[in-house]
Structure 1
Amino acid sequence: MSDDNPHSSRGSAGKSWLDRIASIFSAEPQDISDLQDIIAEAEVRNLIDNDTKGMLDGVLDVSSMRARDIMIPRSQMATVDIDHTIEQLLPILMENNHSRYPIVNEDKDHIEGILLVKDILQYTLDPTKAEWNLRDLLRPAVIIPESKRVDALLKEFRQKRYHMAIVVDEYGGVSGLVTIEDILEQIVGEIEDEHDLEEEHDIKRMASHVFKVSALTPVDEFNESFQTSFDEEDADTIGGIVLHAFGHMPEKGESIQLRGLTFKVSKSNSRRLVQLQVTCAKDNSPAEEE
């Protein structure tokens, strides 16, 4: 007997969908792929959009990650020495634009505490407080093992209201650091701040033949400025060209020569290049920008 109800097939599909949802949450899933399949089907059925799917996938990814998977490596940590004067400190703060810095004693294996940039404002602006040192401003450093689950760390960040943790290996040596932003970026994607926006698509002359170049500068814009001929099919940005040439994620200070130019990494994070220092010969220096 045929079913003349035009909504019959739709109702069956809806019931099948609900049955699958119920089966997932009424019993422990066999693995995360079960949940990923449900999320993917929900997007296909337009129950969620692509951005929502991306965030849900990010949450599932975070549930299986450890601190070692997302930490900023030791070599890329911006730190301040405990004996730095204000004159030595300010250039570091201006270059990196972070709100928190680990304070080290001699080397990065000896973390004395965490400096919040806002804590030094009262000392730099008040002439009556001319005598001070960083030891007076230190906040306790949170130490976690490399094996710390990222989802558990995020919960601690929220509950205890701290934003940075120092990651150590099994021998107690510092491996890197993790911030709450690093975790959130695993879920919602790259979080750009006002400093990132200022650097984007920007070429600035620093000296006669030395330039500060955002890694996000499009290849065609870079070629036009430096009279080069990097292939736009190889990468969209000059950072992509340089990263491909290195063949690995370079550390701050690493350099490479390409097409007669010297590219030095002046700023990067665990996922991408941020800023490059480009030194060129006199005959292919860009014209001075207004």
Structure 2
Amino acid sequence: MSEPHTIQPLSPVNHRRERGLLERLSSLLLREPEDREQLHDVLLQAHERQLLDAEALSMIEGVMQVSELAAGDIMIPRAQMDLINVTDPLQDILQFAVDKAHSRFPVYEGQRDNIIGVLLSKDLLQCQLRSDVSVQSLLRPALFIPESKRLNVLLSEFRQNRNHIALVVDEFGGVSGLVTIEDVLEQIVGDIEDEYDYDEDADNIVSLRGKALGSYRVKGLTDLEQFNAAFGTELPEDQAGTISGLICGHLGRVPKRGEAIEWPPLAFEVLRADAKVIHLLKVSRLPQGATDSTDAAGAAQGQASGS
């Protein structure tokens, strides 16, 4: 039988160090920030004083941003959704599930807007073992949410109802996309890759729907060559490897969430960033008549707009 662990009292040196750390953190927090911007400044100071590491700061910023983002900001657009037709032969459904390698699939009947439930891939095993089980009998209820649903509220509903997927509908009731619990958590902790995430570039640039139609959600780490090819631009690829690196390089800093940067012919809005890198951008084209210059003058204009 092992002896019980004894907690040793702090030595005077360790005690002073512990008190010093707590006092410094308390002095930062006791300033009572009056708004979100001041709170963010306090967190940045804590990071600069090494009270928070970069990863912890990034996660706290992600938590703050989740309360401001809506489902429509991060949803997988309808055109990219993998849906199962309930009337398809079982073997076709099984092959589709294997090819796509998702754990859950929205299931429709007739038209793609007519979602009748959600099918778990693991439940398909029952169809293989029992001939009297139909796909329709295995469906779980689908959760429908508006595009305006805040992500912090959605995450709470996911936890309470034990759902992992929600169908996003527009103001007319049509399905405009879907959001998974993983999508929401990635806004806090960053990209979560699993063993099926083979194509890292597949969702770097995603077309937005609803009120944001005509705009695109772009990952900050998108390769500049891929970005230029997608938008028909000629942003300098010799100055940085990613769109995040290029924007940060010209601004001389990492822009904060919500900042707008104009680099004709494109307009950028920062959806998510931490102290080190831009994670997510909203990209749209500037109105007709805006200059199409993409040189350093355009970058300077972006810096003025982002400050």
Q: Secondary structure at the match of 1:195?
A: coil
Structure 1 range deviating more: 115-124 or 185-194 = 115-124
| Equivalent residues in 2 for 1:107-118, closer than 5 Å | 107-118=111-122
Q: CA deviation at 1:90?
A: 2.2
- Match for 2:30 among 22, 44, 63? 22
Aligned match of 1:171: 172
User: Which amino acid in structure 1 is aligned with residue 81 of structure 2?
Assistant: M
Q: In structure 2, how many angstroms separate the alpha carbons of the residues matched to 1:150 and 1:30?
A: 23
Contact residue 25 and residue 51 of structure 2 kept, 8 A? no
Partner of 1:135: 136
Paired residue type of 1:191: I
Q: Does 1:157 align with 2:139?
A: no
Question: How much identity, in percent, do the aligned residues show?
Answer: 42
CA distance in 2 between counterparts of 1:12 and 1:184 reads 34
Three-state SS of the structure 2 residue aligned to 1:53 is: helix
Which range moves more in the overlay, 103-112 or 45-54? 103-112
Change (3 A) 1:240 1:91: farther
Question: Is the 8 Å Cα contact of residues 169 and 175 (structure 2) preserved in structure 1?
Answer: yes
How does the TM-score come out when normalised to structure 2? 0.59
- Matched residue, 1:231: none
Is the aligned partner of 1:72 residue 2:76? yes
SS at match of 1:106: coil
Match of 2:36 among 32, 38, 45: 32
Match of 2:107?
Answer: 103
Task: Write out per-residue CA displacement over residues 232-273 of structure 1, whole angstroms, 9 at most, x where no aligned residue.
Answer: xxxx98x7534431218xxxxxxxxxxxxxxxxxxxxxx89x
Deviation at 1:17, TM superposition (A): 5.8
1:46 to 30, 47, 50: 50
Tell me the equivalent position of 2:231. Answer: 247
Give 1:95 shift.
2.2
Work out the number of aligned pairs and report it: 199
TM-score, length of structure 1 as denominator length: 0.62
* Cα deviation, residue 13, structure 1: 11
Deviation at 1:176, TM superposition (A): 0.6
Q: CA RMSD in A?
A: 2.8
CA gap 1:87/1:244 in 2 versus in 1, 3 angstroms: farther
1:184 corresponding residue in structure 2: 185
- Check whether the contact 1:114–1:139 (CA below 8 A) recurs between aligned residues: yes
Distance 2:230 2:62 in 1: 29
Larger radius of gyration: 1
| Counterpart residue number, 2:267 | none
The residue matched to 1:194 in structure 2 has which SS?
coil
Q: Secondary structure at the match of 1:109?
A: coil
Corresponding residue for residue 217 of structure 2: none
Equivalent AA in structure 2 for residue 244 of structure 1: N
**Distance (Å, rounded) in 2 between the aligned partners of 1:14 and 1:121:** 54
In 2, are the aligned partners of 1:74 and 1:175 still within 8 Å (CA)? yes
Aligned to 1:92: 96
Shift of 1:33: 1.1
Indicate if the aligned counterparts of 1:85 and 1:133 stay in contact, CA closer than 8 A: no
For the structure 1 residues 106 and 242, does the alpha-carbon distance in structure 2 shift closer, same or farther, using more than 3 Å as the test? farther
Distance 1:131 1:34, change over 3 A: same
**One-letter amino acid matched to 1:170:** E
CA distance in 1: counterparts of 2:43 and 2:162, whole angstroms: 31
Instruction: Classify 1:133/1:122 alpha carbon distance in 2 versus 1 (closer, same or farther; 3 Å).
Output: closer
User: For 1:91 and 1:98, how far apart are their aligned partners in 2?
Assistant: 12
* TM-fit CA distance, 1:30: 3.4
Identify the match of residue 86 of structure 2 among 79, 82, 104.
82
In the alignment, the residues of structure 1 paired with residue 154 and residue 134 of structure 2 have an alpha-carbon distance, to the nearest angstrom, of 31
Change (3 A) 1:12 1:120: closer
